[in-house]
């Protein structure tokens, strides 16, 4: 099974990807991880991307597509994966179509107000990296470590990120809907509840 995961910041894609990986043995391909690895290894594509990043510019589609294409070329035909963070544009989606067959595009839907509430109460443990709710815990419930909040987890920044997300993905969502690949999942509630909806849709349709 080869899937694309879509969802606004804070929609829970990362958590659901962990569940999907365990249940279906799918590789989790994150665009962010691909970028970091190319930068770390100082590959030609990584160095090219760094030029744009150092200048405060967006990395062009062509560079992103080459990086993803190189990663996907290493997969055997019978190996499944989830793409997280790619494609972001219709151009990238068309490029992906030329590389491999996608079985489904899961769109995790959460109302903006719920995401704002979720992210403004998010805290991360300095010791183990566990993410929890600052309103429910004063220390990490996993290891007792100190909690901290990310600088960008404030309402103004979150609303700005959501606005950009909706503007960027509107055409992409319609692209996949027109191909009959879009799977819309209500991503509100506990992560386990959301995953049960994913399983119900993927395994019983």
Q: How far apart are CA 76 and CA 73, in angstroms?
A: 8
Q: How far, rounded to the nearest angstrom, does the alpha carbon of residue 103 sit from its chain's CA centroid?
A: 17
Q: Active site residue: 88, 117, 149, 197, which one?
A: 88
Respond yes or no: is residue 122 known to be catalytic: yes
- List, as one string, the DSSP characters of 64-128: HHHHHHHHHTTS-TT--EEEES---SHHHHHHHHHH----EEEEEE--HHHHHHHHHTEEEETTT
Respond yes or no: is residue 150 known to be catalytic: yes
Q: What is the dihedral of CA 174, 155, 127, 146, to 10 degrees?
A: -160
Q: Give SS3 for 131.
A: strand
Q: Active site residue: 23, 51, 126, 150, which one?
A: 150
Q: How far apart are CA 155 and CA 138, in angstroms?
A: 21
Respond yes or no: is residue 36 known to be catalytic: no
State the catalytic residues.
Answer: 13, 88, 122, 150, 161
């Amino acid at each position: 099974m080869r899937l694309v995961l879509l969802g606004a910041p804070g929609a829970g894609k990362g958590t659901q990807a962990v569940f999907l990986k365990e249940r279906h043995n799918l590789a989790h391909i994150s665009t962010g991880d691909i970028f970091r690895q190319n930068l770390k290894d100082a590959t030609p594509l990584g160095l090219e991307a760094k030029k744009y990043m150092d200048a405060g510019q967006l990395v062009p589609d062509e560079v992103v597509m080459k990086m993803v294409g190189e990663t996907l070329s290493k997969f055997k035909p019978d190996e499944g994966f989830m793409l997280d963070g790619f494609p972001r544009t219709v151009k990238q989606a068309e490029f992906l179509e030329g590389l491999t067959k996608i079985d489904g595009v899961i769109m995790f839907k959460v109302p903006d107000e719920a995401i704002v509430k979720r992210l403004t109460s998010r805290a991360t443990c300095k010791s183990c990296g566990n993410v929890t709710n600052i309103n429910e815990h004063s220390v990490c419930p996993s290891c007792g470590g100190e909690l901290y909040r990310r600088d960008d987890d404030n309402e103004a920044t979150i609303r700005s990120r959501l606005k950009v997300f909706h503007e960027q993905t509107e055409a992409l969502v319609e692209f996949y809907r027109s191909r009959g690949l879009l799977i819309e999942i209500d991503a509100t509630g506990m992560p386990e509840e959301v995953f049960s909806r994913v399983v119900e849709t993927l395994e019983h349709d």
